[in-house]
Amino acid sequence: MQKIYPRAEAALEGLLFDGMTIAAGGFGLCGIPERLIDAIQASGVRDLTVASNNAGIDNEGLGKLLRTRQVKKMISSYVGENKEFERQFLAGELEVEFTPQGTLAERMRAGGAGIAGFYTKTGVGTVVAEGKETREFDGETYVLERGIRADLSIVKGWKADEAGNLMFRKTARNFNLPAATGGRICVAEVEEIVPVGSLDPDCIHLPSISVKRMILGAPYDKKIEFRTVRQREAA
């Protein structure tokens, strides 16, 4: 199977439709599939449900899709750095399903593993558990969380071979692995593609069976969410 596509638009051809659910990897601006997000924005697809740790920041990452009003619902755990997200949510223009970070990662992983739901203690007694089934195990209360099975996964990798075996770089591994397996089809953008056999099998984070399409996304400009500096002390 030919998995390498010349550009993001080609890799997403035939996969996008209004009202779809997308699982997106990344944390803040670390390990986000920038090229694929740009292509989704350019496609004009609308009414999206996006499962992602956060929605980027204003005008960067998934924040671009918020700006163009292409997102109907976010399933997220952290949204504090995006003013447009805040504005749309408070104005009732954006539906938000808040999910604890560990629970969100497990919901994606469960969806990819064919697990319809699981019980967890996280969120019991809070708004997170409102309207959800609870059950007692060994004298403790647990809340039922549903697995996430998205129509499409978009992830950012570091290295991949031509077959689609992927490696993530350090903290950029974050939500990329569970997001990749949580979608029916996974499209990855990577910084480097090498011949099959070049990668140490013990270092593969995501096997090729989970990756259906790939693009070479490099080069990237490193973006920083907050630049914090201090004044130089007088000599």
CA–CA distance, 91 with 86 (Å, rounded to integer): 8
Confidence band of 56 (pLDDT split at 50, 70, 90): confident
Superfamily of domain 4-11+18-115+149-216: Glutaconate Coenzyme A-transferase (3.40.1080.10)
CA–CA distance, 74 with 218 (Å, rounded to integer): 28
* Cis peptide bond N-terminal to 219, omega within 30: yes
Q: Are 51 and 23 a contacting pair, CB within 8 Å?
A: yes
Q: Are 103 and 76 a contacting pair, CB within 8 Å?
A: no
Q: Which of 148, 149, 97 is CA-nearest to residue 123? A: 97
Per-residue pLDDT reduced to its tens digit, 65-118: 999 999 999 999 988 778 899 999 999 999 999 999 999 999 999 999 999 999
Instruction: Give the mean pLDDT of 164-182.
Output: 95
pLDDT at 1 over 80: no
Confidence band of 235 (pLDDT split at 50, 70, 90): low
Per-residue pLDDT reduced to its tens digit, 188-211: 999 999 999 999 999 999 999 999
Per-residue pLDDT reduced to its tens digit, 78-90: 887 788 999 999 9
Q: How far is CA 11 from CA 14, 54, 108, in A?
A: 9, 24, 22
Residue 101: partners with Cβ closer than 8 Å, 6 or more residues away = 53, 77, 78
CA–CA distance, 70 with 65 (Å, rounded to integer): 5
Sign of CA dihedral 122, 126, 128, 134: positive
Radius of gyration of the chain (CA): 19
Q: What angle do CA 121, 124, 125 make, to 5 degrees?
A: 155
CA–CA distance, 71 with 89 (Å, rounded to integer): 12
pLDDT at 59 over 90: no
Q: Is 230 exposed, middle or buried (0-12, 13-18, 19+ CB in 10 A)?
A: exposed
Q: What is the dihedral of CA 42, 47, 52, 56, to 10 degrees?
A: 50
This prediction's pTM? 0.92
pLDDT at 24 over 90: yes
CA–CA distance, 95 with 25 (Å, rounded to integer): 20
